[in-house]
Amino acid sequence: MFLFGMEFVIASYAGIRLFEQPRSKNTLILAPHPAPESPHPSASAETPLALADDSERNKHWHYMKMSGVTMGLAGLAHLSPIFFVPMLLGFTYTAIPYLRVVENSLLNKKKIDGYVLYGIADLMTFGLGRTMTAAFAVGLVHSAHFVISNAEKNSKDSLINIFAKQPSRVWLLQDGVEIETPLEQIKPGDLVIVNTGDLVPVDGVIEQGFAAIDQHLLTGEFQPAEKTIGDTVFASTQLMSGRLQIRVTTSGNDTAVAKITEILNHSIDFKTHSQLKGEQWSDSWNLPVLGLAFASMPFLGPVGTVVILNGHIAQNIRVVAPLSTLNYLTIASHKGILVKDGRVLEDLPTIDTFLFDKTGTLTSEEPEVGRILVYLPEYSENDLLAYAAAAEQKLKHPIARAILNRAAAANLTLPDIDDADYQIGYGIAVQIQGKLIQVGSQRFMEKEQIELPENFHREMEYAHSVGHSLIMLAIDGHFAGVLEMHAAVRPEVRNLLANLRKNGAQHLAIVSGDHQRPTQKLAEVLGMDECFYDVLPQNKAAIVEQLQAQGRKVCFIGDGVNDTIAMKKANISISLSGATSVATDTAQIVLMDGSLARLPELMKIAQELNHNLNNGWLFNIVPGTLTIVSAFAFRIDIIVALLLSQGGLGLGILNAMLPLRQISADEKEQLAAAHTQLKQD
């Protein structure tokens, strides 16, 4: 009778599929609309029974309940045959979604995977008359993936919703009157008002006011940042005190927060290395386990065969590994670290070489202008400073900003530029009031055939010997003077480098477009293993390749300016550019607060992720192995095998979700400390 029941289930499914075939050829799996094949080979293909939207969770919940009903009917059927037919119908109903997955594996993917093994095991269990156990097994499938869907949805929500806070209406200032306006109607150039307690609704520049702003969503720093006229503010940050008038630069989907959300949505679409390794490992064992199960039937009987089939954990690793990575991406985001691809977190502990761009990365983002030396007597220091600032005013490089700051501090009025020619890595030539002004490095002067005066060489040697850089200026082809640039090492750098050494970094190096002496001086002060100097931006990639040719795995760390090619060549790339250019930044990881202070935390997160993934492997492999060994050693029953294998999945999910508890605890602690500090201030 039970063998007939198994045949009925198979025949019913075949009949349903024949009925569906003319209507649709796309209903092979539980999801109503299968995801198209990704153009990226590493992008996550659809994972049957593990989708995270509400409709899928509701389906799993429904089939869980129906499996419970079927188990009850199975128990009653052992007491009275009258319950056999409703039990059979109930089992068939709950098994059909699972059989769709099995069919998809066999016919579409043309492979025997874990779902096929579990499907065979469940049908055999039913055919053996273990109807309650078979219903329990199918119920476990739906229960496990209901839990997985919940966990995956919670993890994704925790990651994406970090940046989801936005007001629906804002105060728009028009003709001196504040008008409450829907956020979607705000456009660049508008002036909006933000009061204490409000969320900043746009990216913009402060035109009036002073405020303390909580930016921890972007930077991970819970200490409020003080902002005033001329400072940039970002959407989804919150005013802790003060009142601001903000000129809108971007709003809606163009804000930094919206771009970050878009990046995070993309980052969770990739399969992790651990997941890919797990899938390859499990796929290689599918046929051997299937062969072992049926080869053992003469010795262990059909029950032993079913036990061995249930010992396979092929599908568990497909879910647990990406779930772990997803949660550690969330931790990174909470700390102001934007990771664009979860695979990078797994690879980071394998990096043995860190290559730092010098200016704006190891040194303070903006150097200071020191001495100004004049070599044409008809010009003053202020004349040279004004010309240099006018030439550099449209550039975003830290040196350009330093020169502009010095000119602003001297209250200089900058002359208008008639024409400009910027040569990356060399300098800039502009026409000002009929004069040709050339500003740049010694290399630029030599390229333009500007002769350096004899009495300048001693000053140049001294400046380089103490680690200063020089920006030279020529007027109408004659060397006019030099601006001495004083670069201060970032305060966090020394502790950072010591931390990297402690955690296994074998090779630390600097690459710079600066001259040999100041670059070597900085390398000596910081205890670097190697330095590269006089390197043009387009040649930094060659340095990365040179280190890789020595068998090294290189992490390139720069400020995001002129480092695109080097970042693409490196095994891992990290940028300090922050929220202002996150949408266009090439780096795989962006430290949103614009400093290196978060790098040790990033390394810690990567190490904890690998530890978590290794635990996840153990929680999946050990129960599966124990199940198969126990089939021979102890002749365990099917129900014990199910509890062992699904228990391993449960432990794996719990292990993967552990990081979210740490996020909650850290956030409460940091918020409490920030509020205490704010009250004291």
- d(Cα 278, Cα 41) in Å, to the nearest integer? 16
In whole angstroms, give the CA distance from residue 239 to residue 202: 13
What is the average pLDDT across 579-608? 82
Report the alpha-carbon angle 358-363-369, nearest 5: 110
| pLDDT value of residue 293 | 95
% of the chain surpassing 70 pLDDT: 84
Span of 233-242, 417-426, 446-455 with lowest mean pLDDT: 417-426
Q: Which amino acid type is present at position 39?
A: P
Residue written as token pair 């220091």: 381
**Contact of 286 with 114, CB cutoff 8 Å:** yes
Domains within the chain, CATH numbers bracketed: 2-160+265-325+612-663 (no CATH), 169-200+202-250 (2.70.150.10), 337-363+489-597 (3.40.50.1000), 368-486 (3.40.1110.10)
The residues near 673 (Cβ < 8 Å, ≥ 6 apart) are: 222
Rounded CA gap, 540 and 660, in Å?
Answer: 39
pLDDT at position 363, please? 81
Q: How confident is the model at residue 203 (pLDDT cuts 50, 70, 90)?
A: very high
User: What is the value of pTM for the model shown?
Assistant: 0.73
Distance between terminal CA atoms of the chain? Answer: 80
pLDDT on residue 544 = 96
Chain segment 594-652, per-residue pLDDT in tens: 888 889 999 999 999 999 988 988 888 889 899 999 999 999 999 999 999 888 888 88
Q: Which pLDDT value is given to residue 481?
A: 96
Contacts of 465 (CB under 8 A, 6+ apart): 517, 521
Please write the tens of the pLDDT for every residue from 475-504: 999 999 999 988 778 888 999 999 999 988
Task: For tokens 């995956």, name the residue.
Answer: 152
Q: What angle do CA 552, 558, 560 make, to 5 degrees?
A: 130
How far CA 481 is from CA of 316, 407, 427, 517, 653, in Å, comes to: 69, 16, 15, 20, 66
Stated as kind and residue range, the H or E segment containing 29 is: none
On the question of pLDDT at 92 being above 90, the answer is yes
* Helix or strand holding residue 357 (H, E): strand 353-357
Higher pLDDT, 366 or 542: 542
Q: What is the mean pLDDT of residues 576-580?
A: 66
Give, for 432, the enclosing helix (H) or strand (E): strand 427-432
Q: Looking up tokens 């390229």, which residue turns up?
A: 447
pLDDT band at 204 (very low <50, low <70, confident <90, very high): very high
Residue 121: band (very low, low, confident or very high) from pLDDT cuts 50, 70, 90:
very high
pLDDT score for 159: 66
